[in-house]
Structure 1
Amino acid sequence: MSVSLKSKGSISTAVITGGHYFDVPGFHTMMRNLEGIDAYIQDMENFVADVGKVRESYDVILFYSMHKQTPNPKTAEILEQILSTGQGVFLLHHALLAYRDWEFWSQLVRIENRNDHDYFHDEKIRLNVTGTEHPVTQGLESWTMIDETYTLPEPTDCEVLLTVDHHRSMAAMAWTHQFRSASVFCFPCGHDNQTYVDPNFQRVIAQGIKWCAGR
């Protein structure tokens, strides 16, 4: 019998990894320290296999993965089903670049052409809060941190919550939208521990998960 994800009263969050390297200790430490959130970090293969039969019990599915090839039919079916279960979806950092030729993922990200872009490490960026009344960014003020940036096209049909004005970055730095029955939050930040330890970054992660869960 598998563990009940609802027993603790916290927000149960599947955190999906794979297809891209990351600072494992730094990322795990950051996720474990988010108050009121139970993060179950797992690779895509385990999420799809769902040995514990809990996939539909998670409150939020957070993707920190970057698989490049369009998924096989079984994986694609499971990923598309998430949008009809009422679970929230959080796309973090390089997850925005996953499955670049898969139309479904482009719709999820709200960026049509994700093949034509560049990236830059260790950039000093100032994040400006545009969605001051939104639960994800509520209580935040503009701040500066170090992170990797992308020069992706700007997202469409969404509510932009954070922006940057930097010659090596897209302008939108956080946005939300509704896709089918899911509340979707996209956050391009989060490359390594320089960013993980930033308290404002952590706050966006925590409040983003809570918003995705409808809390």
Structure 2
Amino acid sequence: MKRMVFLSFFVLTVVLSKGQSTKIMLITGGHSFDTLQFFQMFDALPQIEYEHFEQPNANAEIANGKADDFDVLVFYDMWGNISQSEKMAYLRLTKQGKPLLFLHHALVSYQDWPEFEQIIGGKYVQEGKRISEDEVSTYEHDVWVYCTIENYTPVTSGFNELRFFDEVYGNIRISDEVKPLLRTRHPKSSDFVAWQHVYNQSNVVYIQSGHDRRTYESADYRKLILQAIKFLDNTNE
């Protein structure tokens, strides 16, 4: 009888856990975007609950410990200013193993904070006083981006290839330590347009696509984002 009660409790626990939502801290700011369609995309993702924070308030909240209330942090910001206390908060989160998902122009953030490049796994290099011309990254709007799967993980599961009418980044820096997920052969793009890696104790995913509503409304893009979030959430258990 005790065995039956235990098994029933175990099955109920499994069923309930499968229905639990992932709570994400969704961070924007510093770059314009199609706001209506962007939030409609997140509204439509099943078993996802999100709270939106805009910079610079988002970083202030992270420094105050707000990120501890969420399962996954999703960055769609392009921000430059970050205080020392905010930097320490980011590093604290990675040491605690907080999962991080970075989208599109988040790769441009914090040009003057070298550690951020290590966290995200790459960098879009903007023009600057001490930046040589051959280091500067490039972009091209409104192009078809055909992506093949470089590595199959829970993020890329179920795809053979992906196609988005989006924006590409060229001449970006990508760490040798990342695991590439998606490759494109677009002539104005860097080879890899998505990757995952680990920084300190945090699992990190970067997905370059996501410039505007035409991508937000793509079923494949929504599936890719959802699988990335669920993968990251599962690594946090």
If the length of structure 2 is used for normalisation, what is the TM-score? 0.81
Number of residue-to-residue matches in the alignment: 207
Q: CA deviation at 1:104?
A: 1.1
Question: Separation in 1 of the partners of 2:85 and 2:65?
Answer: 16
Listed one character per residue, the Cα deviations across residues 47-92 of structure 1 (whole Å, up to 9, x for unaligned) are 34439964202110111111124x1122222222221222200111
Trace 1:2-41 onto structure 2 (pairs within 5 A).
Answer: 9-41=20-52
Q: Tell me the amino acid that sits aligned with residue 68 of structure 1.
A: G
1:86 aligns with 2:97: yes
Question: Separation in 1 of the partners of 2:65 and 2:150?
Answer: 40
Question: Separation in 2 of the partners of 1:108 and 1:37?
Answer: 24
Partner SS state of residue 41, structure 2: helix
Q: CA deviation at 1:201?
A: 0.9
1:145 aligns with 2:170: no
Question: Separation in 1 of the partners of 2:56 and 2:113?
Answer: 18
Decide whether the 8 Å contact of 1:12 with 1:39 is kept in 2.
Answer: yes
Question: Separation in 2 of the partners of 1:190 and 1:112?
Answer: 17
Listed one character per residue, the Cα deviations across residues 109-129 of structure 1 (whole Å, up to 9, x for unaligned) are 222673310111101110101
Q: 1:113 to 1:162 in 2, by over 3 A?
A: closer
Select the residue among 163, 183, 195 that pairs with 1:175: 195
Question: Separation in 1 of the partners of 2:57 and 2:110?
Answer: 18
Identity percentage of aligned residues:
27
Question: Separation in 2 of the partners of 1:89 and 1:204?
Answer: 15
Question: Separation in 1 of the partners of 2:104 and 2:123?
Answer: 17
Decide whether the 8 Å contact of 1:60 with 1:89 is kept in 2.
Answer: yes
- Aligned residue number for residue 50 of structure 1: 61
Question: Which structure 1 residue ranges, 5 or more long, are not aligned?
Answer: 1-7
Q: Tell me the amino acid that sits aligned with residue 192 of structure 1.
A: D
Question: Which structure 2 residue ranges, 5 or more long, are not aligned?
Answer: 1-18, 127-135
Decide whether the 8 Å contact of 2:72 with 2:101 is kept in 1.
Answer: yes
Question: Separation in 1 of the partners of 2:92 and 2:181?
Answer: 27
- Point out the structure with the larger helix share: 2
Q: Tell me the amino acid that sits aligned with residue 135 of structure 1.
A: P
Decide whether the 8 Å contact of 1:155 with 1:172 is kept in 2.
Answer: no
- Aligned residue number for residue 5 of structure 1: none
Partner SS state of residue 131, structure 1: coil
1:195 aligns with 2:215: yes
Decide whether the 8 Å contact of 2:67 with 2:73 is kept in 1.
Answer: no
1:206 aligns with 2:217: no
Decide whether the 8 Å contact of 1:174 with 1:186 is kept in 2.
Answer: yes
Q: Tell me the amino acid that sits aligned with residue 209 of structure 1.
A: I
Q: Which has the larger radius of gyration?
A: 2
Q: CA deviation at 1:196?
A: 0.5
